[in-house]
């Protein structure tokens, strides 16, 4: 047994030496591989054991492989490579920006020759050179105001300068586009690397679980992949621990920080999570209702403060229509598609013995609802609809700032105040659950209808240019439920109340006689009608007055009043025919008093009442005798009165008559009548009464006047989301008018993991993001300021009177749809609401290539000056020369076919002076026939000629009726790229003076004096900022390279292969192998002799 044992030990030693030689050779083969870490075979001696003849030792065995890696250094290298990549990306963008303006200095030599022409030090083709030439040529024009050659040269200088600005703007756009493209490709590369790391993770676990030693080669490969990933994004590593065994599984889980401090898993044992830079900023707009229409595609640009800066139209689509109302598009932060936040494991969580450990880690994905979805290379549709449709998750996962919009649980929320982590999402005093995303056609709510409109809690409305959501039921009367103070058990008001607001509390009606703040104690409100609380709240009683009782309670009627008495009083200054307003006495009033309820402190005007005079449509048809073609005939007619509310039992619709339509004649027309038909949009306003009042369909609640919706008391909350109205021409979307910018939108190139934004700290993607948010944004803002200041100063000097078509420069723009505004004269002077005419302004936007002379949007208003007064003011204006609408005489004048000259109106603008009008009598109308009713139109002489036509409705326009529309810059994000030479400018039209005096040159001289190096300094400042930033980056890169080199040297000292050492080791291991071979050979021969001796 001794001989056999020695043979066995020698065999083990031989295998050990063979393995050491093999590893040494492998090390030598990777001597130039910087990702390879040196390996060493570990020797292991067995324990002593007892045998015949005494104690014996076991043979030399392989004890595994030593992997010369330092985890701390490896981690530091990953981090430092990420920082280096980030700085390199920023440097790349700064170098591109440095060349965007084409600026450099050419120092010219001095020539003392008399015939030598001075050459500019400014580089040809630069923006500064173009500005310098522009001002110098104006200086020449001031010396020779009528010289044609100078004018021709100046015209070319203007074109050249415009081209230089355009080139700078286009360079900026190209850099922005390139950054987005690089980030998109890098994101794809990240996803590929994560997949490769997962595969390497799997190989490491598979190898090491088989107890075959350490998977050193796979670990080297994984470290290489980690470093490649670290050069793109920052991440942290954690060893994966098996839930079943509690041991390290061989996997390495990767995590990244979320924007709000979340710990987000991007790689685990189940695989890699997909990263994307598409969060909905590029999306398809809801398809047009016309089946032949094509959906439009737009891309949002977000500025550094998280505000919506521009919606760029990528595909304009077709067959869109905004005639029924504004076509709105909204933009919200993305929603997570599955929870990726790592939470601390609770001690009481116990693994089910029969449950697969991986099942605990599986999460059911939450699908995105009604938002733009990244679906590979396709763009998903974005449409409106319910979002927060399930019970929210409480509490909130992080703190929020006031106005911040975020997605959590199963819906979007907006923080109403600064909140803390753990605040309940169901706390409506702190959070607003956003009910839906306002995309598509949105009904426009106007001040005129604020006395009848009711909006249920959660409803969204578009009111005076903003989108609001109702935090409570909003209508003529508010139902107050109250909030209980946990400290005192007192009941407090849940919202603010403005003076005149009516609310119901504990089955009683109350009215605020002054502004009442939220949190006012309501526990001791009086219940006796007419009693006034110390907070300024008066009790109205258990019921509100009814309109049908106006005559029964009219006052004065010779009777004294006691507190709580309700009267109907017609103010002497009210328009003729006006109904009375309801008042309540808050004190005793003698019958002989001369004080008027409208001005007496003993009365309050009741802010709401029950209109119980609603007629049903089905009760209206009547046989009417009328004259037709000189013959008296009886016909079935249905007539509506302006200002009244009706109820259609067929469509279950309440509607207010805005303007009296022509009688509906005939049984067929009457039976098919539907107030929801589009043809009645100018006559009827559909309303949705509060169904919780218990009133019959023939009764609705109404306010006493149409003072508008209160957007300051908290009942309507402005949504802090990006909202824009589409500008549609010929069915195509040409641009957008941004209404609300939000301030919580992700950056254009933000990175997301299943809808959750990540916060990058290093890596090339961080560098590109930083460059876009800081350097690119600073450059864009500075360039916009330069262009805006230059054009404003030059145009305002050259055309101080804003004469149309006489500017030097302009900006491309688009016209929005016209909207009817408030008739301030009727509302504020006479207290009449909703009496406006119901016609429309037809704006021929398709014929206008709109430009603006200044870098700001412009609002144009067309206001009627026709002396037409509503019949309610007949008493005041009869016999004064005004036309009284809805009177026999007035209608005869208005309907006279020769009365076209009666209609007059004027134009105005927010900035432009002297907006004038002309008549286009040659316009043949849509029928293209001369002499028909649709002939003729008007032209507004603004920055461009804007043709329009006022179409009269059933109710003619009054004095003060107005329409407005906006001219919106086509690209306010990048003004330099949209700068143009005014279309009407030519060399011949250039003038040096607005005077006709010979030799006048004040305009040319004033513009030349602008060339005092102010604009050159602005350009120099832009370049200096870029240069300083580039210098700092270069210094930081040098410093970073030094640190990275030092770390790599330290790691190489540990991990790299030394060729001298490995050759020496290889020779030693070869000699050891040879020695072991000889020993084994000798033992083999000895065994052979022993065996052969036995055989003999």
Assess whether pLDDT exceeds 50 at residue 786: yes
- Tens of pLDDT along 655-714? 999 888 889 999 999 999 999 998 898 889 999 999 889 999 999 999 988 778 888 888
Query: Tokens at residue 771, please?
Result: 């460059």
CA distance 709 to 504: 18
Task: Please report, for residues 50, 74, 127, the alpha-carbon distance to residue 205 in angstroms, rounded to integers and kept in the order given.
Answer: 39, 20, 61
- Tens of pLDDT along 869-918? 998 888 889 889 899 988 888 888 887 766 556 888 999 999 999 899 99
Residue in 21, 75, 239, 80 with CA at minimum distance from that of residue 1068: 21
* Residues 93 and 1026: beta-carbon distance below 8 Å: no
Q: What is the pLDDT of residue 69?
A: 77
* Residues whose CB is less than 8 angstroms from the CB of residue 620 and which lie 6 or more positions away in sequence, other chains included: 638, 639, 640, 646
CA distance 233 to 190: 8
* Residues 85 and 763: beta-carbon distance below 8 Å: yes
Phi, psi of 1075 (to 5 degrees): -65, -45
- Tens of pLDDT along 937-949? 999 999 999 999 9
Q: What is the pLDDT of residue 889?
A: 87
Task: Pick 1070 or 1016 by higher pLDDT.
Answer: 1016
Assess whether pLDDT exceeds 60 at residue 979: yes
Q: What is the pLDDT of residue 756?
A: 86
Please give the distance of CA 476 from its chain centroid, rounded to a whole number: 32
CA distance 814 to 734: 7
Share of the chain above pLDDT 70, in %: 86
CA distance 452 to 445: 11
Q: What is the pLDDT of residue 441?
A: 63
* Residues 696 and 434: beta-carbon distance below 8 Å: no
Q: What is the pLDDT of residue 944?
A: 93
Q: What is the pLDDT of residue 1050?
A: 82
Assess whether pLDDT exceeds 50 at residue 352: no
Burial 303-334 (b: 16+ CB within 10 A, else e): beebebbbbbbeebbbbbebeebbbbbbbbbb
Phi, psi of 250 (to 5 degrees): 105, -20
Q: What is the pLDDT of residue 830?
A: 86
Listed range (286-300, 538-552, 789-803) with the worst mean pLDDT: 286-300
Q: Which of 105-114, 565-574, 761-770 has the highest mean pLDDT?
A: 761-770
What pairs with residue 653 in β-bridges? 648
Query: In 3-state terms, the chain is what percent helix, strand and coil (to 5)?
Result: 30, 25, 45
Assess whether pLDDT exceeds 60 at residue 358: no
- Tens of pLDDT along 984-1010? 999 999 999 988 766 789 999 999 999
Q: Which residue's structure tokens are 């002497």?
A: 572
Q: What is the pLDDT of residue 320?
A: 92
Assess whether pLDDT exceeds 90 at residue 199: yes
Residue in 480, 918, 546 with CA at minimum distance from that of residue 698: 546
CA distance 634 to 637: 9
Assess whether pLDDT exceeds 60 at residue 550: yes
* Residues 547 and 529: beta-carbon distance below 8 Å: no
What pairs with residue 406 in β-bridges? 413
What is the three-class DSSP state of 943? coil
CA distance 466 to 603: 36
Instruction: For each of the domains in the chain, give its residue range(s) and CATH number, in order of start.
Output: 2-67+1057-1095 (no CATH), 388-434 (2.10.10), 613-680 (no CATH), 809-981 (no CATH)
- Start-to-end CA span in the chain (Å): 20
Query: Tokens at residue 1019, please?
Result: 């350009």
- Tens of pLDDT along 1029-1068? 999 999 999 999 999 888 887 877 777 776 767 677 767 7
CA distance 433 to 416: 10
Question: How does the average pLDDT of the chain come out, rounded?
Answer: 84
Residue in 824, 821, 866 with CA at minimum distance from that of residue 965: 821
Burial of 610: CB neighbours in 10 Å, binned 0-12, 13-18, 19+: buried
Residue 579 pLDDT level (bands cut at 50, 70, 90) = confident
Going by DSSP bridges, is the β-strand pair 502-505/477-479 parallel, antiparallel, or unpaired? parallel
Beta carbons within 10 angstroms of residue 1069's beta carbon = 22
Q: Which residue's structure tokens are 């008495």?
A: 565
- Tens of pLDDT along 917-932? 999 988 988 888 887 8
Sign, CA dihedral 970-861-928-290, equals positive
CA distance 318 to 330: 20
pTM of the entire structure? 0.81
Residue 825 pLDDT level (bands cut at 50, 70, 90) = very high
CA distance 885 to 954: 11
Length, in residues, of the chain = 1096
Share of the chain above pLDDT 90, in %: 49
Listed range (79-93, 227-241, 397-411, 1061-1075) with the worst mean pLDDT: 1061-1075
Going by DSSP bridges, is the β-strand pair 868-869/883-884 parallel, antiparallel, or unpaired? parallel
* Residues 502 and 540: beta-carbon distance below 8 Å: yes
Query: Tokens at residue 209, please?
Result: 């679980």
Residue in 205, 220, 211, 233 with CA at minimum distance from that of residue 35: 220
CA distance 313 to 333: 20
Assess whether pLDDT exceeds 70 at residue 343: no
Cα-Cα-Cα-Cα torsion 72, 77, 80, 84, nearest 10 degrees, comes to: 180
| Strands, sheet with 381-382, edge to edge from the N-terminal-most edge strand | 308-315, 297-302, 282-285, 381-382
Burial of 87: CB neighbours in 10 Å, binned 0-12, 13-18, 19+: buried
Listed range (125-129, 217-221, 374-378) with the worst mean pLDDT: 374-378
CA distance 724 to 296: 14
* Residues 915 and 940: beta-carbon distance below 8 Å: yes
CA distance 648 to 378: 46
For the chain, the C-alpha Rg in angstroms (whole number) is: 41
Query: Tokens at residue 175, please?
Result: 């850099």
Q: Which DSSP symbol is given to 829?
A: I
Listed range (179-183, 191-195, 632-636) with the worst mean pLDDT: 632-636
CA distance 475 to 453: 6
Q: What is the pLDDT of residue 47?
A: 61
Beta carbons within 10 angstroms of residue 949's beta carbon = 18
Task: Pick 142 or 995 by higher pLDDT.
Answer: 142
What is the three-class DSSP state of 819? strand
Task: Pick 475 or 628 by higher pLDDT.
Answer: 475
Task: Please report, for residues 135, 332, 478, 982, 991, the alpha-carbon distance to residue 1009 in angstroms, rounded to integers and kept in the order given.
Answer: 8, 48, 63, 22, 16
Please give the distance of CA 181 from its chain centroid, rounded to a whole number: 21
Residue 366 pLDDT level (bands cut at 50, 70, 90) = very low
Residue 586 pLDDT level (bands cut at 50, 70, 90) = very high
CA distance 611 to 689: 11
- Tens of pLDDT along 423-472? 999 988 899 999 887 776 667 788 888 889 999 999 888 888 888 999 98
- Tens of pLDDT along 800-821? 999 998 999 999 999 999 998 8
Assess whether pLDDT exceeds 80 at residue 67: no
Task: Pick 539 or 837 by higher pLDDT.
Answer: 539
- Tens of pLDDT along 447-456? 888 889 999 9
Q: Which residue's structure tokens are 């030439």?
A: 133
DSSP assignment of 418-469, as one string? -B-TT--TT-TTTEEEE-B---EE-PEE-GGGTTT--B-TT-EEEETTEEEE
């Amino acid at each position: 047994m001794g001989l056999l044992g020695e043979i066995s030990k020698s065999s083990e030693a031989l295998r050990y030496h063979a393995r050491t030689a093999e590893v040494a050779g492998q090390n030598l083969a990777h001597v130039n591989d910087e990702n390879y870490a040196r390996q060493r075979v570990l020797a292991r001696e067995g324990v002593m054991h007892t045998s015949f003849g005494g104690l014996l030792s076991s043979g030399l065995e392989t004890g595994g492989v030593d992997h010369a890696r330092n985890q701390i250094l490896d981690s530091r290298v990953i981090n430092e490579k990420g920082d280096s990549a980030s700085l390199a990306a920023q440097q790349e963008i700064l170098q591109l920006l440095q060349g965007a303006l084409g600026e450099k200095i050419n120092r010219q030599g001095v020539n003392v020759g008399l015939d030598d022409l001075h050459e500019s030090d400014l580089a040809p083709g630069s923006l500064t050179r173009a500005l310098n030439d522009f001002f110098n040529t104006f200086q020449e024009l001031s010396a020779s105001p009528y010289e044609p050659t100078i004018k021709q040269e100046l015209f070319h200088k203007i074109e050249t300068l415009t081209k230089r600005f355009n080139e700078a703007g286009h360079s900026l756009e190209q850099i922005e586009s390139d950054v987005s493209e690089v980030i998109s490709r890098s994101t794809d590369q990240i996803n590929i690397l994560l997949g490769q790391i997962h595969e390497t993770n799997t190989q490491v676990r598979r190898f090491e679980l088989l107890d075959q030693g350490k998977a050193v080669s796979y670990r080297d490969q994984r470290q290489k992949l980690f470093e490649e990933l670290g050069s793109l994004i920052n991440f942290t590593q954690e060893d994966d621990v098996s839930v079943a065994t509690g041991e390290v599984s061989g996997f390495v889980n990767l995590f990244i920080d979320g924007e709000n401090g979340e710990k987000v898993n991007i790689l685990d044992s189940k695989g890699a999570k997909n990263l994307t830079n598409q969060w909905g900023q590029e999306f398809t707009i809801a398809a047009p209702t016309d089946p032949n229409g094509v959906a439009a595609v737009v891309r949002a640009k977000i500025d550094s403060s998280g505000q919506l800066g521009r919606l760029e139209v990528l595909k304009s689509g077709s067959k869109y229509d905004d005639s029924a109302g504004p076509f709105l598009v909204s933009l919200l932060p993305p929603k997570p598609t599955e929870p990726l936040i790592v939470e601390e494991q609770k001690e009481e969580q116990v693994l089910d013995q029969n449950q697969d450990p991986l099942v605990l880690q599986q999460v059911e994905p939450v699908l995105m609802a009604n938002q733009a979805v990244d679906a590979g290379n396709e763009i998903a549709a974005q449409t409106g609809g319910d979002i927060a449709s399930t019970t929210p998750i409480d509490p909130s996962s992080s703190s929020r700032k006031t106005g911040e919009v975020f997605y959590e649980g199963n819906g979007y929320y907006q923080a109403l105040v600064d909140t803390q982590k753990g605040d309940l999402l169901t706390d409506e005093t702190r959070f607003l659950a956003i009910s839906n995303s306002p995309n598509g056609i949105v009904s426009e709510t106007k001040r005129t209808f604020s006395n009848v409109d009711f909006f249920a809690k959660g409803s969204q409305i578009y009111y005076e240019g903003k989108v609001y959501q109702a935090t409570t039921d909003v209508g003529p009367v508010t139902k107050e439920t109250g909030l209980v103070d946990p400290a005192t058990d007192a009941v407090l008001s849940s919202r603010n109340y403005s003076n005149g607001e009516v609310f119901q509390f504990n089955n009683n009606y109350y009215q605020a006689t002054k502004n009442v703040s939220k949190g006012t104690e309501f526990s001791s409100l009086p219940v006796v009608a007419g009693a006034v609380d110390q907070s300024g709240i008066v009790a109205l009683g258990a019921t509100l007055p009814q309109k049908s009782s106006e005559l029964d309670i009219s006052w004065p009627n010779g009777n004294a009043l006691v507190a709580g008495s309700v009267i109907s009083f017609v103010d002497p200054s009210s328009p003729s025919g006006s109904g009375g307003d309801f008042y309540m006495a808050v004190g005793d009033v003698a019958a002989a008093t001369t004080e008027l309820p409208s001005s007496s402190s003993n009365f309050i005007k009741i802010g709401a009442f029950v209109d119980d005079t609603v007629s049903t449509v089905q009760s209206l048809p009547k046989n009417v005798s009328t004259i037709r073609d000189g013959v008296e005939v009886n016909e079935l007619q249905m007539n509506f009165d302006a200002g009244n509310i009706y109820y259609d039992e067929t469509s279950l619709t309440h509607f207010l008559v805005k303007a009296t339509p022509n009688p509906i004649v005939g049984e067929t027309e009457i039976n098919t009548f539907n107030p929801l038909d589009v043809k009645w949009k100018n006559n009827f306003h559909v309303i949705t009464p509060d169904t919780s009042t218990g009133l019959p369909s023939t009764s609705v609640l109404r306010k006493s006047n149409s003072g508008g919706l209160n957007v300051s008391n908290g009942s309507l909350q402005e949504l802090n989301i990006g909202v824009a109205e589409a500008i549609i021409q010929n069915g195509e979307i040409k641009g957008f008018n941004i209404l609300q910018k939000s301030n919580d939108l992700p950056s254009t190139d933000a990175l997301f993991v299943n809808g959750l934004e990540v916060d990058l700290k290093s890596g090339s993607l961080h560098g590109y993001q930083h460059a876009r948010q800081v350097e690119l944004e600073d450059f864009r803002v500075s360039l916009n300021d330069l262009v805006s200041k230059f054009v404003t100063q030059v145009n305002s000097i050259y055309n101080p009177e804003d004469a149309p078509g006489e500017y030097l420069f302009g900006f491309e723009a688009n016209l929005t749809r016209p909207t009817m505004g408030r008739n301030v004269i009727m509302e504020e002077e006479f207290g009449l609401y909703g009496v406006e005419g119901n016609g429309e302004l037809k704006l021929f936007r398709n014929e206008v290539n709109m430009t603006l002379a200044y870098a700001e949007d412009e609002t144009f208003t067309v206001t009627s000056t026709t002396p037409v007064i509503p019949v309610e003011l007949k008493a005041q204006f009869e016999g004064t020369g005004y036309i009284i609408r809805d009177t026999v005489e007035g209608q005869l004048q208005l309907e006279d076919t020769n009365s076209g000259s009666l209609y007059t109106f004027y134009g105005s603008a927010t900035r432009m002076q002297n907006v004038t009008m002309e008549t286009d009598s040659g316009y043949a109308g849509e029928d293209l026939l001369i002499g028909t009713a649709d002939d003729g139109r008007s032209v507004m002489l603004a920055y461009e000629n804007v043709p329009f036509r006022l179409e009269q409705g059933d109710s003619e326009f009054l004095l003060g009726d107005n329409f407005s529309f906006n001219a919106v810059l086509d690209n306010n994000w990048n003004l330099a790229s949209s700068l143009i030479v005014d279309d009407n400018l030519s060399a011949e039209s250039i003038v040096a003076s607005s005077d006709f005096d010979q030799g006048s040159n004040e305009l040319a001289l004033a513009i030349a004096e602008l060339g005092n190096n102010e604009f050159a300094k602005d350009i120099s400042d832009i370049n200096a900022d870029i240069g300083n930033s580039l210098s700092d980056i270069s210094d930081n890169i040098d410093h970073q390279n030094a640190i990275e080199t030092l770390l790599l040297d330290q790691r190489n000292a540990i991990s790299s292969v030394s060729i001298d050492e490995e050759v020496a080791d290889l020779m030693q291991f070869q000699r050891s192998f040879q020695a072991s071979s000889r020993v084994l050979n000798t033992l083999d021969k000895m065994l052979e002799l022993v065996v052969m001796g036995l055989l003999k």
